[in-house]
């Protein structure tokens, strides 16, 4: 097939849409990228730039040999991921995590996409599915109503869960008399501010969370929340110590006197200058006044100035295993593909990885090739998740549990994760070499 005359239409300039667009464009495939911003925005988006990060500025762990998401990042880098390239450009200190300055990250990707010779950006809202040519629907979990209704009519009722966002505060409003700078297990260069709670303060905070008034969720009948984004007030009701084993855990942290606090809330930088901080793990759906009151019970945040309050929103996803073929095209319309969080993956990196997977499948089809994915890599495991988990299909993020077991038995956890990484990277190298996917054609 003549790739120069093969045009791919991509709906949505989020993480998945930008990843797919750039990968295909770099390999000589003309792309039309449709984005409704700046003419229309979803409930949580505010920037006209592409790949806008909403919930957090962290892309989770960057450790290739100790974390599944860190391994996924390295797999994506091998394919020339624009998202990983932008993250490296915009990264800010965050210990062992890969955190970015949101605006810098989005601006980098936007500039790369808009200036690419093989990408045409069309600022229009797409309300119907394209019936001709290759199409990738990467409109995200907050797909606007017209297109969402079209998808439901064509493919059946969609699924959804609720997602929550953590507050961001002004650095100058943190009372450092009740906080100290440091990283868990000293892995970093003092990238976090740690807000101390005594046992009495912790118990009062938990009690206040349990009785605080939550903001209403409009138009939806039930509230299913993805476990990885559980609002702190919901988690608090699971038991008095639940937060001390989650976002307020004190392990690996020691105050100025060298003692481990009873509980600790970590604050992570939002930008390179350190003028804004994110309340790590404190996704919430409390009313704004309640957020000020309840988080104000933490001594270091008593007079905190909120730059952004936490909010909750619906994330819609399709039942991929019932809808897609093994090449990720739709069973009903073979020219249509889905990518990103709408496919049933969870997390920024996973969403971008889904865009990469879909772009790889389309490129392989254009080149008359077939990629053999196995669960030996995280990319491969996410691929298999969206085509095989027919029963109880739920959003999935990168984790070792979805990988194929090692052929050899390894009891040591550290060595086992290293083995997973070595096997995965070897598998990805093989796919790239066999299919010559690293060759760029402009």
Q: What is the mean pLDDT of residues 65-69?
A: 94
Peptide bond into 64 cis (omega under 30): no
Dist. CA 353–CA 383, nearest whole Å: 10
Q: Which pLDDT belongs to residue 1?
A: 45
Residue 164: closest CA among 18, 346, 37, 307:
346
8-state DSSP, 401: G
pTM: 0.79
Q: Is the pLDDT of residue 91 over 90?
A: yes
Q: Which pLDDT belongs to residue 69?
A: 96
Q: Which pLDDT belongs to residue 346?
A: 84
Distance of CA 434 to the CA centre of its chain: 29
**pLDDT tens-digit profile of 295-307?**
999 999 999 999 8
Q: Is the pLDDT of residue 67 over 90?
A: yes
**φ, ψ for residue 112 (rounded to 5)?**
-65, -45
Dist. CA 70–CA 51, nearest whole Å: 20
Range 85-115 burial, b when 16+ CB lie within 10 A, else e: bbbbebbbbbbbbbbbbbbebbbbbbebbee
Dist. CA 382–CA 5, nearest whole Å: 31
**pLDDT tens-digit profile of 308-362?**
898 887 777 888 888 999 999 999 999 999 999 899 888 899 999 999 999 999 9
Q: Is the pLDDT of residue 4 over 60?
A: no
Q: What is the mean pLDDT of residues 170-179?
A: 95
Three-class SS state of 396: strand
Q: Is the pLDDT of residue 441 over 90?
A: no
User: Which tokens in the block code for residue 412?
Assistant: 């040591």
The answer to whether the Cα torsion of 217, 223, 226, 231 is positive or negative is positive
**2 exposed, middle or buried (CB, 10 Å; 0-12, 13-18, 19+)?**
exposed
**303 exposed, middle or buried (CB, 10 Å; 0-12, 13-18, 19+)?**
exposed
Determine the longest span between alpha carbons in the chain, in angstroms: 70
Distance of CA 226 to the CA centre of its chain: 13
In terms of average pLDDT, the best of 54-68, 146-160, 193-207, 423-437 is: 193-207
In terms of average pLDDT, the best of 80-89, 91-100, 322-331 is: 80-89
Q: What is the mean pLDDT of residues 233-251?
A: 95
Three-class SS state of 192: strand
Q: Which pLDDT belongs to residue 220?
A: 40
Dist. CA 144–CA 244, nearest whole Å: 38
Q: Which pLDDT belongs to residue 129?
A: 92
Q: Which pLDDT belongs to residue 222?
A: 44
Q: Which pLDDT belongs to residue 43?
A: 64
**How many Cβ atoms sit within 10 Å of the Cβ of residue 81?**
23
**pLDDT tens-digit profile of 385-429?**
888 765 667 778 898 988 999 988 888 989 999 999 999 999 999
For the ranges 101-105, 328-332, 378-382, 384-388, the lowest mean pLDDT is seen at 384-388
């Amino acid at each position: 097939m003549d790739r120069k005359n093969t045009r791919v239409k991509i709906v949505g300039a989020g993480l998945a849409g930008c990843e797919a667009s750039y990968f295909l464009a770099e390999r000589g495939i003309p792309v039309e990228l449709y984005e409704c911003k700046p003419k229309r925005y979803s409930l949580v988006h505010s920037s006209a730039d592409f790949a806008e990060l909403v919930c957090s500025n962290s892309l989770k762990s960057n450790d290739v040999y100790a974390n599944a998401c860190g391994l996924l990042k390295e797999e994506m880098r091998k394919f020339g991921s624009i998202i990983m390239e932008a993250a490296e450009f915009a990264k800010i200190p965050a210990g062992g995590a890969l955190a970015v300055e949101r605006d810098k990250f989005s601006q980098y990707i936007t500039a790369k996409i808009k200036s690419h010779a093989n990408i045409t950006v069309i600022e229009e809202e797409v309300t119907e599915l394209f019936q001709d040519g290759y199409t990738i629907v990467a409109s995200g979990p907050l797909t606007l109503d017209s297109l969402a209704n079209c998808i439901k009519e064509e493919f059946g009722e969609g699924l959804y869960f609720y997602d929550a966002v953590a507050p961001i505060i002004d650095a100058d409003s943190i009372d450092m008399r009740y906080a100290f700078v440091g990283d868990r297990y000293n892995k970093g260069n003092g990238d976090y501010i740690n807000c101390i709670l005594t046992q009495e303060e912790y118990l009062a905070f938990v009690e206040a969370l349990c009785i605080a008034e939550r903001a209403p969720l409009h138009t939806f009948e039930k509230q299913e929340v993805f476990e990885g984004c559980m609002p702190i007030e919901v988690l608090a009701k699971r038991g008095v110590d639940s937060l001390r084993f989650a976002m307020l855990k004190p392990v690996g942290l020691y105050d100025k006197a060298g003692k481990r606090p009873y509980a600790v809330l970590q604050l992570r930088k939002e930008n390179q200058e350190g003028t804004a901080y994110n309340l790590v793990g404190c996704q919430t759906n409390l009313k704004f006044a309640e957020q000020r009151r309840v988080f104000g019970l933490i001594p270091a945040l008593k007079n905190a100035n909120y730059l952004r309050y936490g909010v909750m929103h619906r994330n819609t996803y399709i039942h991929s295993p019932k809808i897609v073929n093994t090449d990720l095209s739709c069973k009903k319309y073979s020219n249509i593909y889905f990518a990103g969080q709408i496919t049933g993956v969870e997390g920024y990196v996973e969403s971008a990885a889904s865009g990469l997977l879909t772009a790889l499948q389309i490129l392989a089809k254009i080149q008359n090739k077939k990629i053999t994915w196995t669960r030996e890599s995280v990319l491969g495991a996410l691929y298999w998740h969206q085509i095989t988990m027919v029963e109880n299909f739920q959003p999935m993020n990168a984790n070792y549990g979805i990988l194929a077991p090692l052929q050899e038995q390894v009891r040591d956890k550290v060595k086992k994760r290293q083995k997973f990484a070595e096997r995965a990277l070897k598998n990805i190298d093989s796919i790239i070499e066999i299919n010559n996917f690293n060759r760029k054609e402009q």
